[in-house]
Structure 1
Amino acid sequence: MCGSTPRYLALLIAFSFPAAADDSIERFEVMGDQAVQHHSAQSVEQLLKQMGVDFSAAGGVSALPIINGMMGDRIKVLIDGNDITAACANQMNPPLSYISANQISMAQVIAGVSPVSAGGDNTAGVISVAASQPLFAEDETLSWQQGYLSSQYRSVNDAMAIGAGARVASKQWLLDYRGSFEDANSYQDGNGDKVIDTLYRRQNHTLNGAWRDEQQVISVKLTHQYIPFQGFANQYMDMTNNRSYGVNLDYQRDFSVGELQAKLNWHGVSHEMGFFSSEKTGMMPMKTDADDYSYDLRWRQPLLQDGTLLVGHEYHQFTIDDIWPAVAGSMMMGPNDYININNGQRQRVALFAELEKPLSQRLWASAGVRYEQVTTDTDKVQSYSSMGMMGMPNVDYQASQAFNAAERKVTDNLWDAVLQLRYQLDEMQQLELGLARKNRAPNLYERYSWGRGVMASTMIGWFGDGNGYVGDINLSPETAYTASVQYSVNHSHWQFSSSFWYSRVQDYIDAEVIGSFNRSGLAGGERNLLQFSNLDAVLYGSTLNAVVMLTEGEFGEFSLAGKLSSTVGERDDDNQPLYQISPVQTELALEHQLGSVKSRLGWQFVGSKKRLDSNRLENPTASYHLLNFSSELNLANLSIRLAVDNLLDEYYQMPLGGVSLAEYRADNSQGFQQLAGQGRSFNLGVSYQF
């Protein structure tokens, strides 16, 4: 456990200084219809990064969020309050890919100790984003209320994004539409070289209709997404189609004794992987069809002395078929279809209760318990062929026979418990404490990926590391015991916050080496064959936020904002680092506001990544500095944003970027190089409301 000096310095500073609770990742929320103006010129990833979320690189709109050093399914991501499951062996269609920044009216990030009512089946925290919320008018007649048009251009990849929205409403009725279209080429790095296979195209649409009276609100939301292509530089495959539809019903009613909320949701997706451009070529079709069905029932009951009891019941059913069609004339990919997951099912049934109550004028408490039963199952599978090659047995056929003979249905019973305390030290100072026991059951690919051959196993995995992965039916659920503490102080001209969290995770789902391969036969071409496995792990870290007003007067307001964050993650048995743990990060920004113009000059430092996961052959990365500038003009109906990202055009490799498999396929003599970040980009964003 001998970390570097900067890491321990970050922990020391975090305990030595206070911070504003509103700026902490522990609970960060953005709300309001006006958010359209501010988010139209950025991506969902950029928005959530400002709220303290890291991202593991993937496609242009499919990066996987990381909170407290934990990635992917360890974070509960809710879209409009509903679960959407990544329906892909590489998680190319994660929940956040189904919503654009211009569609978001509310975003919330709760790290670590999240209330049981915020969602179960997670160990890292909750990200909740919502598209247009019902916003009615005061007139009895249905009439035009608001519309907007937005656009953004980024020079680094010639990306163009456009968005549009319209709302008509009365006192009882509402109809709201929001849509977006994005198109981007592959971006350039700081050396001016193209980072191949990072191009994409996407469109998202939501249509929300609602009705209300004095006691109740009923809303129906329709969603559609179409991604004809999206490059994944750190995966062996690309996305060649992702088409989804969704229906979300929401009912809320106020009673004299409490409040009822009910949600019903369906989301279906047809997903395909393959190759679509000369930047990464090949022939291997993969098709996935999946559906999410869920409902959520909640009753909120006021109690005496300002207390509130919330009880709820949730049901979620995810079904998936993952088939790799045979390729005519191919000896390796035929004559049969490869059936990777056949009628896969993951069912979650949950009950929870949560009590919130002020214990005194200064002390507030929240306590909750949640029970969740998770059942997974799948039918029999099939390999491309039963025949071996060159006298060697067909390991995929043998694996399919063993898999089909095994008992595949598994039921996990999960218990979560959360306690949160908030103490108001005085008018300016606040102390928060959180304790939680949280659980996550394995996903279907962790449990049921059965192929043992190099080609089959390298199609599994959302880590961008080039290794191959094999599932394990007998995986146990993860159980995380987390403690967090946050101290904040808020003065009129300065604010500070410091937070620290610690998680001990039993049965953390990691990966152990069961083999290796080298397709190129060259030095540096080695990769590992890994099997998902349980072990114990420890993760901890801290965050410091600070804002100080420098001057204010006729030349405007000048302020200085800073942030320092550090994360450590390691296996319990040998203290070896976990995969994709972010190095120390520091941000410092000078901000200026004069009337309707707000400008920002920001400096970001990311430390060198030297603590590496040897099982995944993780690459080291050097430290780097980025300088970013932005200026935004906000008028009554018009918002214009000019920005220059990576102002000095610095070349850097992303510590959470994985390896560039696209570059490796183009030239394998250099081995598996870390994915490079974006070079200088001149950006223009415009949003107009009418």
Structure 2
Amino acid sequence: MSNSRNAAKVSSRLSLAIAQALVLALAAPSALAETGPDGGLQIDPVNLDAVIVTALAPVSPLQFEASPKIPRQPVPASDGADYLKTIPGFSAVRNGGTNGDPVLRGMFGSRLNLMTNDGAMPGACPSRMDNPMSYVSPETYDNLVVIKGPQTVLWGPGASAGTVRFERDREYFEEPTVKLAGSLLGGSFGRNDQVIDATYGDRLGYLRFSGNRSDSDDYKDGDGNRVGSAWEKWNTDLAAGWTPDEDTLLEVSAGFGDGESRYATRGMDGSRFKRENFGLRFEKHDLGEYLHHFEATAYHNLADHVMDNYSLREPNPDSSMPMPMASNVERRTAGGRAALEWSASQWELTAGMDYQDSRHRNRSAMGRGAFRSTPWTTDARFENLGVFAEGTWFQGDYTRLIAGARVDRASATDERHVLSGGGHGHGGGHAMPNPTAGMERKETLTAGFVRYERDAADAPLTWYAGLGHTERMPDYWELFSPDMFDGGRGPIDAANAFAGVDTEKTTQLDVGLQYRGASFDAWVSAYAGRINDYIQFHYMHGGMSAVGNVDADIRGAELGIEYRPDDQWKLGGTLAYARGEIRDANRPMPQMTPLEARLTAAWENGSWSAGVLLRAVDGQDRVAPGYGNVVGQDLDASPGFATLALNGGYRFNEKLQLTAGVDNVFDRTYSEHLNLAGNADFGYPADPVRINEPGRTAWVKLNYNW
């Protein structure tokens, strides 16, 4: 990817993508459609859940599910965080074009348990340039499952904000079967994506291949100003499953990917996002009268990430990094999980254990490519062993009691021999001996929840109330990225963040109501939590960062409605609000998302579809400048904005669908509240300024599913 791309190249690529889509559409086999009385092709109406996803509703209390393969608006997502924003309560710390960092209800980082195929891929950058969702291509997965709040213990420790799982299906085939899915996407600013997903299966097993490529040039904001945001990325994943019978599965899998991305908000770009994933899974069903399922998984994941200031830009002689330099970080994470499921007429129970081991290392050097000859230095090791149990007790036909508990033994080891202040984890400051070199921290973490659910006997209505508690080990970014430790409640009382930052404890009440009628659905969920020893970053002049513990209160709500006046129309809306205070300082919590509303209207007659999305975001004046997380900080108050998006589509048959859309129809100039400041290398001023979002963006996408 070069620093500049001419308009002819952009136009050519967009035209090619659109031409590919139209050719594939027009060349669709006529056998896929029925012949009408006049001998022409007749398209039977197809009633599917959604043509284009604009907002999701819960499928059960606090749980959201979706197929990431369905087209989405705004422009279909290039990473996991982007797709999550279709769920009310989610937002992202914006970097530019891709690889934003997901935020749920104002909570960030390892407060969200982010998983792919039941494995962890934490990323390696000390400032989360390669956060876990940057390695996810949503459309290559079959299912997205989100559970909000500390309301499950099945998928790892922490997860005070929620649990996110991108999953792929595994099937038993009675006869030889070929399945093929794919898509082509072309859009403004040179956006060009291709996806393929192919499976062959029979009674003995299956082979599956999925891959994608996605790239885009820098986008322009509503004022026509270019924002450094170009990216290019690719992924391939393979899986082979052995199914000697319909109750047994043994699967091996492997995945590889890489990419690069420009960041108008950072002093370096990401010139490598290399991933390697290896997995093993065993499943056995119908083991006895009560024991119904056993599952065991193992994984080995590697993130190899390079940041530099010369591959996708030229070094700025007036910046703090005037010469070419690069930093290479790598994180290997291995682990596994085993679980048993029992059930009877009145109860269900899942119990098991999980394990994770992670090692982080780095190297850096001045000069183009010089880092490759620099030896690696390991700076951190992590280990976690947990046991869990979660069950449901059915009390008659309308009442359920769900509860779970887990205990984890977590450890972190500081392998750094020296500390470099002033670099926010990248070095560059004055080196000094590390007082905690070789020190190991061990913590015992507890978590549990109980939730009561009740269905109305005479109406399609469910209400619930759940109380959850979880304790979270400080993660790599909180222990190793800060330049110093700040006690938060008073004077500094530890050698550094590794020794000083305490575990974070969250206790939260979640309540809600769901109504599903023949023509009207509605839902509301509200929460209130108390966080003891909340881990907070403080940024000071000169770029120094400190981390410490404070106590905080959080609360908020999300709601949604959908009205279907007839078989062809759907009208809907969602609203999300989050609020938090630091009790110790009597001030707002930083990095809290503002009030956001989405209004939608969609029409579909089986073949044609059209829709509109109005997104309105309130201004945020509850800010704490200088405070935040490892990625971002509150800059100042932000104004509100509203954007309009339009979409339309045509379904040629059950297998082929063409969709198109225009985002930010009126070419508004606006920025998100959760945003990094623009970097001087891209012409932004020294005073922090948010980067603007894309201006008017058009896209067209062809989906094929056979």
Query: What TM-score comes out, normalization by structure 2 length?
Result: 0.82
1:2-21 superposed matches below 5 A? none
Go from structure 1 to structure 2 and tell me whether the alpha carbon gap of 1:666 and 1:361 turns closer, same or farther (over 3 Å shift): closer
1:184-583 superposed matches below 5 A? 184-196=216-228, 198-212=229-243, 213-227=245-259, 229-254=260-285, 255-256=287-288, 257-258=290-291, 259-275=293-309, 276-278=311-313, 281=316, 283-303=324-344, 305-327=345-367, 342-382=378-418, 396-398=430-432, 401=433, 403-404=434-435, 408-426=439-457, 427-449=459-481, 451=483, 471-512=497-538, 515-517=540-542, 529-552=544-567, 557-583=568-594
- The Cα offsets for residues 331-382 of structure 1, whole Å up to 9 and x where unpaired, read as xx9xx9798x724101011001112110222110111110011100022334
Query: Is residue 2:704 matched to residue 1:688?
Result: yes
Q: Is this contact kept in 2: 1:660–1:674, CA < 8 A?
A: yes
- 1:621 alignment counterpart: 638
CA distance in 1, matches of 2:358, 2:547: 21
CA distance in 1, matches of 2:161, 2:605: 39
CA distance in 2, matches of 1:639, 1:483: 43
TM superposition shift of 1:291: 0.7
- The Cα offsets for residues 187-213 of structure 1, whole Å up to 9 and x where unpaired, read as 1111111112x1111001111110111
Aligned residue type for 1:621:
S
- 1:134 alignment counterpart: 170
CA distance in 2, matches of 1:501, 1:405: 39
- 2:111 alignment counterpart: 74
Aligned residue type for 2:453:
R
TM superposition shift of 1:70: 0.2
- The Cα offsets for residues 540-594 of structure 1, whole Å up to 9 and x where unpaired, read as 1111201112345xxxx22210111111022111232222211111111111111
TM superposition shift of 1:241: 1.1
TM superposition shift of 1:177: 0.6
TM superposition shift of 1:680: 0.5
TM superposition shift of 1:404: 4.2
Query: Is residue 2:702 matched to residue 1:659?
Result: no
- 1:631 alignment counterpart: 648
Unaligned runs of 5+ in 2: 1-54, 317-322, 422-427, 486-495, 628-633
TM superposition shift of 1:46: 4.3
Q: Is this contact kept in 2: 1:20–1:495, CA < 8 A?
A: no
TM superposition shift of 1:39: 6.3
TM superposition shift of 1:154: 1.8
TM superposition shift of 1:396: 2.5
- 1:114 alignment counterpart: 151
Q: Is this contact kept in 2: 1:472–1:532, CA < 8 A?
A: no
Query: Is residue 2:662 matched to residue 1:644?
Result: yes
Structure 2 residue matching 1:73: 3-state secondary structure: helix
Q: Is this contact kept in 1: 2:436–2:499, CA < 8 A?
A: no
Q: Which moved more, 1:163-172 or 1:614-623?
A: 614-623
Query: Is residue 2:139 matched to residue 1:99?
Result: no
How many pairs does the alignment contain?
612
Q: Is this contact kept in 1: 2:97–2:219, CA < 8 A?
A: no
TM superposition shift of 1:118: 3.3
- 1:463 alignment counterpart: none
CA distance in 2, matches of 1:652, 1:264: 44
Q: Which moved more, 1:571-580 or 1:646-655?
A: 571-580
- The Cα offsets for residues 218-270 of structure 1, whole Å up to 9 and x where unpaired, read as 1111111111x211222222111121211111101121141211001001122
- 1:166 alignment counterpart: 198
TM superposition shift of 1:683: 0.5
CA distance in 1, matches of 2:566, 2:202: 45
Go from structure 1 to structure 2 and tell me whether the alpha carbon gap of 1:39 and 1:450 turns closer, same or farther (over 3 Å shift): closer
Q: Is this contact kept in 1: 2:415–2:438, CA < 8 A?
A: no
Structure 2 residue matching 1:177: 3-state secondary structure: strand
- 2:21 alignment counterpart: none
Q: Which moved more, 1:612-621 or 1:477-486?
A: 612-621
CA distance in 1, matches of 2:279, 2:438: 35
Go from structure 1 to structure 2 and tell me whether the alpha carbon gap of 1:77 and 1:450 turns closer, same or farther (over 3 Å shift): closer
Go from structure 1 to structure 2 and tell me whether the alpha carbon gap of 1:251 and 1:660 turns closer, same or farther (over 3 Å shift): same
Unaligned runs of 5+ in 1: 1-18, 386-393, 454-469, 518-527
- 1:84 alignment counterpart: 121
Query: Is residue 2:58 matched to residue 1:26?
Result: no
Q: Is this contact kept in 2: 1:318–1:345, CA < 8 A?
A: yes
Go from structure 1 to structure 2 and tell me whether the alpha carbon gap of 1:447 and 1:179 turns closer, same or farther (over 3 Å shift): same
Aligned residue type for 1:145:
V
- The Cα offsets for residues 638-665 of structure 1, whole Å up to 9 and x where unpaired, read as 111110000111110111122112xx33
CA distance in 1, matches of 2:69, 2:143: 10
Aligned residue type for 1:656:
L
Q: Is this contact kept in 1: 2:65–2:146, CA < 8 A?
A: yes
Structure 2 residue matching 1:285: 3-state secondary structure: strand
CA distance in 1, matches of 2:698, 2:665: 9
Q: Percent identity?
A: 18
Aligned residue type for 1:537:
A
Q: Is this contact kept in 1: 2:414–2:436, CA < 8 A?
A: no
Query: Is residue 2:211 matched to residue 1:179?
Result: yes
Aligned equivalent of 2:180, options 132, 137, 147: 147
Go from structure 1 to structure 2 and tell me whether the alpha carbon gap of 1:345 and 1:114 turns closer, same or farther (over 3 Å shift): same
Go from structure 1 to structure 2 and tell me whether the alpha carbon gap of 1:383 and 1:349 turns closer, same or farther (over 3 Å shift): closer
CA distance in 2, matches of 1:299, 1:590: 44
RMSD: 2.7
CA distance in 2, matches of 1:24, 1:592: 26
Go from structure 1 to structure 2 and tell me whether the alpha carbon gap of 1:570 and 1:85 turns closer, same or farther (over 3 Å shift): same
